[in-house]
């Protein structure tokens, strides 16, 4: 019907908007962009066209443009709860938990049973650790719809945040039974399996706590830890008698930094040996885990051989491979092709200059080290953010 209408009148915004909407629902976001833009240009006074364009931008990973479009839809029709639900979804994806909650509350004031608003409200409160509110919201959602997969997933995340991975996995499995393609539940199931390890459970609790803080607070904590590390090192260097106490603290800090960077990806390597873990992981996650495990094991083996044989080449190669796991994980976690390409280029450059420095020209080792530091302190954040 839509195609027939477009054949008769290609510029009719009604058919153009619904064509874009249908393409978006089929995850054909790039194809949906052009008709969505045409519809918004042809009928700028119609709220639905801006809603559809916001959906398309959200699907393309363009939250800023998506928020602008849904903002126009809300201005034109502030009494549509779906508009507030989509705005809340985009805000949630950009980690603006409090703003997402405010948008959900506006939508629920219009329709107290709106599923999207209730789901995002529960998820956002989960991120902030408001477990009593989450429990109430999940119970209400399941009362309204006993087969609400998103509600079971939210319950699972709440249990996981409270340090109950066994209980969490039960809810995630139920969510996946009801909706096998629900990514929110799949990710939670993987984290629950990894959290059965005490060390990873402690690391995950740190991630949760950091994630609930504003961006400025997160940055302040990271900088504060680095300043403390530098201070401890300076104390040890100026007071040799304290060195036996300072060295373990320095090593612990470096291991902590390494764990926060690669811990989640490294834990995926162990899920390759878990039946449900293998089932829940995507092919890309399995491939990334195998590559990371291969690089790290080879690096540690080379370090041991180098130490045992007092061989600098093996020792240098092992150190390089262990160092390369950090940019490798950052590249694997890149969210866009652009970010991944930048990460691959930097990782490849570090590896090449490192190998040349070990086996050909020693001064090139400094180039590899400079590139590695540049990735860790700046480029890696950009790659992962993208």
pLDDT confidence of residue 7: 46
Q: List the one residue out of 56, 47, 43, 137 whose CA is nearest residue 84.
A: 47
pTM of the model: 0.75
HSE-up (13 A, CA, CB side) for residue 52: 30
The torsion angle over the Cα atoms of residues 294, 297, 303 and 307, rounded to 10 degrees, is -140
pLDDT at position 276: 87
244 and 134 housed in the same domain: no
- Whether 179 is in a domain gets the answer no
Shared-domain flag, residues 364 and 230: yes
376 shares a domain with 270: yes
Domain contains 31: yes
Instruction: Mark whether 378 and 277 lie in a shared domain.
Output: yes
Within-domain flag for 326? yes
| 18 & 90 share domain | yes
Q: Does 37 share its domain with 136? A: yes
Q: For residue 276, give its domain range.
A: 213-385
Does residue 169 belong to any structural domain of this protein?
A: no
Judge whether 74 lies within some domain: yes
Per-residue pLDDT of the chain (386 residues; tens, 9 = 90+): 555 544 445 566 777 888 888 889 888 889 999 999 998 998 899 999 999 999 999 998 899 999 999 999 999 999 999 999 999 999 998 889 999 999 999 999 999 989 899 999 999 998 888 888 888 898 888 888 899 998 999 899 999 988 899 999 999 999 999 999 899 899 999 999 999 888 888 888 888 877 666 666 666 666 776 777 777 777 777 777 777 777 787 788 778 888 878 888 888 998 988 888 888 898 999 999 999 999 999 999 999 999 988 888 999 999 999 999 999 998 888 867 788 888 899 999 999 999 999 999 998 999 999 999 888 877 766 666 64
Contact yes or no for 82/21 (Cβ under 8 A): no
Residue 133 shares a structural domain with residue 55: yes
Regarding whether 104 and 23 lie in a shared domain, the answer is: yes
Q: What pLDDT shows up at residue 221?
A: 63
Classify each residue of 290-303 as buried b or exposed e, where b means 16 or more C-beta atoms within 10 Å of its C-beta. Answer: ebbbebbeebeebb
Distance CA 121, CA 54 (A): 20
> 73: domain CATH number?
1.25.40.10
The whole-number pLDDT of residue 259 equals: 81
Tell me which of 156, 180, 200 is where a domain ends. 156
Write the Ramachandran bin of 310: left for phi over 0, alpha for psi from -120 to 50, otherwise beta: left
pLDDT for 140 equals 87
Segment (H or E) for 145: none
Give the count of domains, the chain: 2
Do residue 333 and residue 225 come from a single domain?
yes
The residue from 128, 156, 184 where one domain ends is: 156
Instruction: Tell me: do 255 and 377 sit in the same domain.
Output: yes
Judge if 151 and 244 occupy the same domain: no
* Distant-in-sequence, close-in-space partners of 205: CB < 8 Å, separation ≥ 6: 163
- Do both 148 and 226 map to the same domain? no
């Amino acid at each position: 019907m839509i195609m027939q209408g477009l054949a008769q009148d290609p510029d009719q915004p009604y058919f153009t908007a619904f064509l874009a909407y249908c393409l978006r629902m089929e995850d054909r976001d790039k194809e949906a962009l052009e008709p969505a833009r045409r519809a918004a240009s042809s009928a700028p006074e119609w709220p639905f066209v801006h809603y559809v364009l916001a959906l398309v931008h959200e699907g393309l990973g363009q939250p800023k443009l998506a928020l602008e479009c849904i903002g126009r839809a809300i201005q034109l029709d502030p009494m549509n709860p779906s508009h507030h639900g989509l705005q809340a979804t985009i805000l949630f994806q950009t980690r603006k938990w409090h703003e997402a909650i405010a948008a959900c509350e506006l939508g629920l004031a219009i329709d107290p049973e709106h599923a999207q608003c209730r789901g995002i409200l529960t998820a956002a409160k989960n991120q902030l650790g408001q477990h009593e509110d989450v429990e109430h919201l999940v119970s209400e959602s399941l009362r309204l719809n006993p087969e609400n997969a998103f509600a079971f997933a939210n319950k699972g995340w709440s249990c996981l945040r409270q340090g109950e991975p066994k209980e969490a996995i039960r809810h995630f499995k139920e969510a996946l039974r009801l909706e096998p393609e629900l990514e929110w539940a799949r990710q939670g199931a993987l984290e629950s399996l990894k959290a059965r390890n005490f060390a990873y459970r402690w690391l995950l609790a740190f991630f949760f706590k950091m994630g609930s803080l504003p961006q400025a607070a997160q940055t302040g904590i990271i900088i504060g830890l680095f300043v403390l590390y530098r201070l401890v090192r300076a104390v040890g260097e100026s007071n040799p008698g304290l060195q036996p106490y300072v060295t373990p603290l320095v090593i612990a800090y470096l291991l902590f930094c390494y764990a926060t960077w690669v811990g989640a990806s490294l834990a995926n390597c162990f899920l390759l040996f878990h039946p449900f873990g293998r089932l829940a992981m995507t092919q890309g996650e399995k491939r990334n885990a195998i590559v990371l495990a291969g690089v790290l094991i080879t690096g540690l083996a080379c370090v041991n051989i180098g130490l045992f044989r007092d061989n600098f080449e093996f020792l240098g190669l092992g150190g390089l491979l262990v160092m390369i796991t950090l940019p490798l994980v950052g590249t694997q976690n890149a969210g866009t092709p652009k970010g991944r390409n930048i990460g691959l280029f930097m990782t490849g450059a570090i590896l090449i200059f490192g190998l040349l420095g070990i086996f050909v020209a020693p001064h090139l080792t400094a180039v590899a080290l400079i590139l590695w530091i540049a990735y860790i302190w700046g480029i890696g954040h950009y790659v992962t953010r993208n």
